[in-house]
Structure 1
Amino acid sequence: MSLLRSGDYVVIGVFLVLWGVITPLCWSQAGATRVKIFQDGQLYAELDLAAARTLAIDGPLGKTTIEVAAGRARIASDPSPRQYCVRAGWLTQVGQSAICLPNRTSIELVGPRPASYDSLSY
Protein backbone atom coordinates (compact mmCIF):
# COMPACT_ATOMS: atom_id res chain seq x y z
CA MET A 1 0.00 0.00 0.00
CA SER A 2 1.44 3.36 -1.11
CA LEU A 3 1.39 6.40 1.14
CA LEU A 4 1.05 8.77 -1.82
CA ARG A 5 -1.69 8.78 -4.42
CA SER A 6 -1.50 10.12 -7.96
CA GLY A 7 -3.11 13.42 -6.90
CA ASP A 8 -0.38 13.87 -4.29
CA TYR A 9 2.28 13.64 -6.99
CA VAL A 10 0.44 16.31 -9.03
CA VAL A 11 0.31 18.67 -6.03
CA ILE A 12 4.01 18.10 -5.29
CA GLY A 13 4.90 18.67 -8.96
CA VAL A 14 2.92 21.92 -9.15
CA PHE A 15 4.55 23.12 -5.92
CA LEU A 16 8.05 22.39 -7.23
CA VAL A 17 7.38 24.16 -10.54
CA LEU A 18 5.98 27.24 -8.78
CA TRP A 19 8.88 27.25 -6.35
CA GLY A 20 11.37 27.08 -9.24
CA VAL A 21 9.69 30.00 -11.02
CA ILE A 22 9.01 32.27 -8.04
CA THR A 23 12.35 31.92 -6.23
CA PRO A 24 14.51 33.60 -8.91
CA LEU A 25 11.94 36.38 -9.31
CA CYS A 26 11.96 37.15 -5.59
CA TRP A 27 15.73 37.02 -5.13
CA SER A 28 16.92 38.60 -8.36
CA GLN A 29 18.09 42.17 -8.37
CA ALA A 30 18.85 44.49 -11.26
CA GLY A 31 22.57 44.95 -11.82
CA ALA A 32 24.29 48.21 -11.05
CA THR A 33 24.73 50.59 -13.97
CA ARG A 34 26.48 53.59 -12.39
CA VAL A 35 28.84 54.41 -9.54
CA LYS A 36 28.48 57.56 -7.45
CA ILE A 37 31.71 58.91 -6.02
CA PHE A 38 31.56 61.15 -2.98
CA GLN A 39 34.33 63.36 -1.59
CA ASP A 40 33.82 65.09 1.75
CA GLY A 41 30.09 64.30 1.68
CA GLN A 42 29.50 65.92 -1.72
CA LEU A 43 28.88 64.15 -5.02
CA TYR A 44 32.21 64.31 -6.85
CA ALA A 45 31.35 62.27 -9.96
CA GLU A 46 28.88 59.73 -11.32
CA LEU A 47 30.36 57.26 -13.80
CA ASP A 48 28.91 54.60 -16.08
CA LEU A 49 30.04 51.09 -15.09
CA ALA A 50 30.19 49.99 -18.73
CA ALA A 51 33.27 52.12 -19.49
CA ALA A 52 36.63 51.14 -17.99
CA ARG A 53 38.20 54.05 -16.17
CA THR A 54 40.59 54.92 -13.35
CA LEU A 55 40.05 58.06 -11.32
CA ALA A 56 42.32 59.65 -8.68
CA ILE A 57 40.67 61.86 -6.08
CA ASP A 58 42.56 64.13 -3.68
CA GLY A 59 41.56 63.92 -0.03
CA PRO A 60 42.93 65.16 3.29
CA LEU A 61 45.40 62.24 3.53
CA GLY A 62 46.33 61.98 -0.16
CA LYS A 63 45.05 60.37 -3.34
CA THR A 64 42.34 57.71 -3.46
CA THR A 65 42.32 55.67 -6.68
CA ILE A 66 38.98 54.33 -7.93
CA GLU A 67 38.77 51.72 -10.70
CA VAL A 68 35.73 51.05 -12.88
CA ALA A 69 35.78 48.05 -15.23
CA ALA A 70 33.40 45.46 -16.68
CA GLY A 71 30.29 46.51 -14.75
CA ARG A 72 31.97 46.77 -11.37
CA ALA A 73 33.90 49.30 -9.30
CA ARG A 74 36.39 49.32 -6.45
CA ILE A 75 38.69 51.54 -4.47
CA ALA A 76 42.08 50.31 -5.67
CA SER A 77 44.28 52.32 -3.33
CA ASP A 78 43.83 54.73 -0.46
CA PRO A 79 46.19 56.33 2.08
CA SER A 80 43.97 55.33 5.02
CA PRO A 81 45.82 53.30 7.66
CA ARG A 82 43.50 50.27 7.90
CA GLN A 83 42.51 49.95 4.22
CA TYR A 84 38.93 48.83 4.93
CA CYS A 85 37.62 50.39 1.72
CA VAL A 86 40.33 48.72 -0.37
CA ARG A 87 39.59 45.35 1.26
CA ALA A 88 35.92 45.68 0.24
CA GLY A 89 37.10 44.64 -3.23
CA TRP A 90 35.01 44.80 -6.38
CA LEU A 91 31.43 46.02 -5.91
CA THR A 92 28.84 44.67 -8.36
CA GLN A 93 25.35 44.95 -6.82
CA VAL A 94 23.05 47.94 -6.45
CA GLY A 95 23.40 49.49 -2.99
CA GLN A 96 26.91 48.22 -2.27
CA SER A 97 29.36 50.83 -1.04
CA ALA A 98 32.94 51.28 0.10
CA ILE A 99 33.75 54.10 2.53
CA CYS A 100 37.18 55.52 3.36
CA LEU A 101 36.44 57.66 6.41
CA PRO A 102 39.94 59.04 7.10
CA ASN A 103 40.22 60.33 3.53
CA ARG A 104 36.50 61.28 3.35
CA THR A 105 35.92 59.36 0.12
CA SER A 106 33.19 56.83 -0.70
CA ILE A 107 31.63 55.05 -3.65
CA GLU A 108 28.11 53.66 -4.03
CA LEU A 109 26.64 51.58 -6.85
CA VAL A 110 23.25 52.59 -8.23
CA GLY A 111 20.97 51.08 -10.84
CA PRO A 112 17.61 51.51 -12.55
CA ARG A 113 15.78 50.46 -9.37
CA PRO A 114 16.64 51.25 -5.76
CA ALA A 115 18.45 48.60 -3.76
CA SER A 116 16.22 45.92 -2.31
CA TYR A 117 16.28 45.17 1.38
CA ASP A 118 18.87 42.80 2.77
CA SER A 119 19.51 41.19 6.13
CA LEU A 120 20.96 44.44 7.50
CA SER A 121 17.87 46.51 6.73
CA TYR A 122 15.35 47.22 9.42
Structure 2
Amino acid sequence: MRPGDGFVVLVAALAVGVSFPLLWAGGRPERAVVRVDGKVVAEFPLTAPRRYTVAGPLGETVIEIAPGRARVLSDPGPRQYCVQQGWLTRPNAIAICAPNHVSLSLSGREASHDSLNY
Protein backbone atom coordinates (compact mmCIF):
# COMPACT_ATOMS: atom_id res chain seq x y z
CA MET A 1 0.00 0.00 0.00
CA ARG A 2 1.15 3.48 -0.76
CA PRO A 3 0.81 6.35 1.72
CA GLY A 4 -2.29 7.84 0.02
CA ASP A 5 -4.20 4.52 -0.14
CA GLY A 6 -5.25 4.67 3.52
CA PHE A 7 -6.70 8.13 3.00
CA VAL A 8 -8.69 6.97 -0.05
CA VAL A 9 -10.07 3.97 1.89
CA LEU A 10 -11.02 6.23 4.80
CA VAL A 11 -12.84 8.71 2.52
CA ALA A 12 -14.68 5.86 0.73
CA ALA A 13 -15.77 4.29 4.04
CA LEU A 14 -16.96 7.67 5.29
CA ALA A 15 -18.93 8.26 2.07
CA VAL A 16 -20.64 4.86 2.40
CA GLY A 17 -21.44 5.50 6.06
CA VAL A 18 -22.99 8.89 5.33
CA SER A 19 -24.97 7.67 2.31
CA PHE A 20 -26.88 4.91 4.13
CA PRO A 21 -29.06 7.17 6.31
CA LEU A 22 -29.63 9.57 3.43
CA LEU A 23 -30.58 6.96 0.82
CA TRP A 24 -32.46 4.44 2.98
CA ALA A 25 -34.51 6.83 5.09
CA GLY A 26 -38.18 7.00 4.18
CA GLY A 27 -40.30 10.11 4.18
CA ARG A 28 -42.15 11.49 7.15
CA PRO A 29 -45.44 9.92 8.25
CA GLU A 30 -48.50 12.07 7.66
CA ARG A 31 -51.48 10.15 9.05
CA ALA A 32 -52.33 7.60 11.73
CA VAL A 33 -54.77 4.92 10.56
CA VAL A 34 -56.77 2.90 13.12
CA ARG A 35 -58.38 -0.37 12.01
CA VAL A 36 -60.71 -2.85 13.71
CA ASP A 37 -61.07 -6.25 12.04
CA GLY A 38 -59.15 -4.85 9.06
CA LYS A 39 -61.62 -2.01 8.44
CA VAL A 40 -60.53 1.60 8.81
CA VAL A 41 -62.44 3.21 11.69
CA ALA A 42 -60.42 6.42 12.04
CA GLU A 43 -57.67 8.46 10.38
CA PHE A 44 -55.88 11.37 12.02
CA PRO A 45 -53.21 13.77 10.80
CA LEU A 46 -50.01 13.62 12.83
CA THR A 47 -50.00 17.37 13.42
CA ALA A 48 -51.75 17.81 16.78
CA PRO A 49 -51.74 15.77 20.00
CA ARG A 50 -54.86 13.74 20.75
CA ARG A 51 -56.11 10.48 22.22
CA TYR A 52 -58.59 8.17 20.56
CA THR A 53 -60.38 5.24 22.17
CA VAL A 54 -61.54 2.37 19.98
CA ALA A 55 -63.68 -0.57 21.12
CA GLY A 56 -62.69 -4.13 20.31
CA PRO A 57 -63.96 -7.56 21.39
CA LEU A 58 -61.90 -7.53 24.63
CA GLY A 59 -62.45 -3.89 25.57
CA GLU A 60 -61.08 -0.47 24.77
CA THR A 61 -57.74 0.29 23.11
CA VAL A 62 -56.37 3.80 23.62
CA ILE A 63 -54.33 5.37 20.80
CA GLU A 64 -52.14 8.39 21.53
CA ILE A 65 -51.10 10.74 18.74
CA ALA A 66 -48.38 13.38 18.96
CA PRO A 67 -46.82 15.51 16.22
CA GLY A 68 -45.04 13.13 13.84
CA ARG A 69 -45.70 9.94 15.81
CA ALA A 70 -48.36 7.68 17.34
CA ARG A 71 -48.57 4.74 19.75
CA VAL A 72 -50.94 2.34 21.46
CA LEU A 73 -51.14 3.71 24.98
CA SER A 74 -53.21 0.89 26.50
CA ASP A 75 -54.88 -2.31 25.35
CA PRO A 76 -56.80 -5.06 27.17
CA GLY A 77 -54.76 -7.82 25.47
CA PRO A 78 -52.87 -10.20 27.79
CA ARG A 79 -49.32 -9.76 26.48
CA GLN A 80 -49.35 -6.06 25.58
CA TYR A 81 -47.19 -6.51 22.45
CA CYS A 82 -48.77 -3.53 20.69
CA VAL A 83 -48.20 -1.31 23.73
CA GLN A 84 -44.57 -2.47 23.93
CA GLN A 85 -44.01 -1.36 20.32
CA GLY A 86 -43.77 2.19 21.66
CA TRP A 87 -43.90 5.24 19.43
CA LEU A 88 -44.32 4.59 15.71
CA THR A 89 -42.39 7.20 13.73
CA ARG A 90 -41.91 5.84 10.19
CA PRO A 91 -44.37 5.48 7.31
CA ASN A 92 -45.86 1.96 7.11
CA ALA A 93 -44.93 1.24 10.74
CA ILE A 94 -47.65 -0.82 12.41
CA ALA A 95 -48.68 -1.97 15.87
CA ILE A 96 -51.13 -4.88 15.92
CA CYS A 97 -53.23 -5.68 18.98
CA ALA A 98 -54.27 -9.11 17.71
CA PRO A 99 -56.42 -10.31 20.65
CA ASN A 100 -58.52 -7.13 20.45
CA HIS A 101 -58.56 -7.04 16.59
CA VAL A 102 -57.18 -3.46 16.57
CA SER A 103 -54.23 -2.12 14.58
CA LEU A 104 -52.51 1.24 14.31
CA SER A 105 -50.42 2.15 11.27
CA LEU A 106 -48.76 5.27 9.93
CA SER A 107 -49.04 6.35 6.32
CA GLY A 108 -47.10 8.86 4.29
CA ARG A 109 -46.09 9.71 0.74
CA GLU A 110 -42.83 7.78 0.88
CA ALA A 111 -42.58 4.49 2.74
CA SER A 112 -39.40 3.37 4.43
CA HIS A 113 -39.84 -0.05 2.79
CA ASP A 114 -41.80 -1.55 -0.11
CA SER A 115 -43.38 -4.54 1.63
CA LEU A 116 -43.21 -6.82 4.64
CA ASN A 117 -42.76 -10.58 4.53
CA TYR A 118 -43.51 -12.99 7.34
User: Which residue does the alignment assign to 2:109?
Assistant: 112
Q: CA deviation at 1:107?
A: 0.5
SS of equivalent residue, structure 1 residue 47: strand
Q: Which whole-Å deviations, capped at 9, do the CAs of 1:26-60 have from their partners, x for residues lacking one?
A: 22221211111101210111111111110001111
TM-score computed with the length of structure 2 as normaliser? 0.82
Change (3 A) 1:57 1:25: same
User: Which residue does the alignment assign to 1:41?
Assistant: 38
TM-score computed with the length of structure 1 as normaliser? 0.80
Change (3 A) 1:11 1:52: same
1:1-122 paired onto structure 2 within 5 Å: 3-4=1-2, 8=5, 11-12=8-9, 15=12, 18-19=15-16, 22-117=19-114, 121=117
Percent identity, aligned pairs only? Answer: 43
SS of equivalent residue, structure 1 residue 26: helix
Larger Rg: 1
> Counterpart amino acid of 1:109?
L
Count of matched residue positions in the alignment of Structure 1 and Structure 2: 118
Q: Which runs of 5+ in 2 are unaligned?
A: none
Moved over 6 A (4+): none
Change (3 A) 1:62 1:9: closer
Q: CA deviation at 1:116?
A: 1.4
Q: How much is the aligned-residue C-alpha RMSD, in angstroms?
A: 2.4
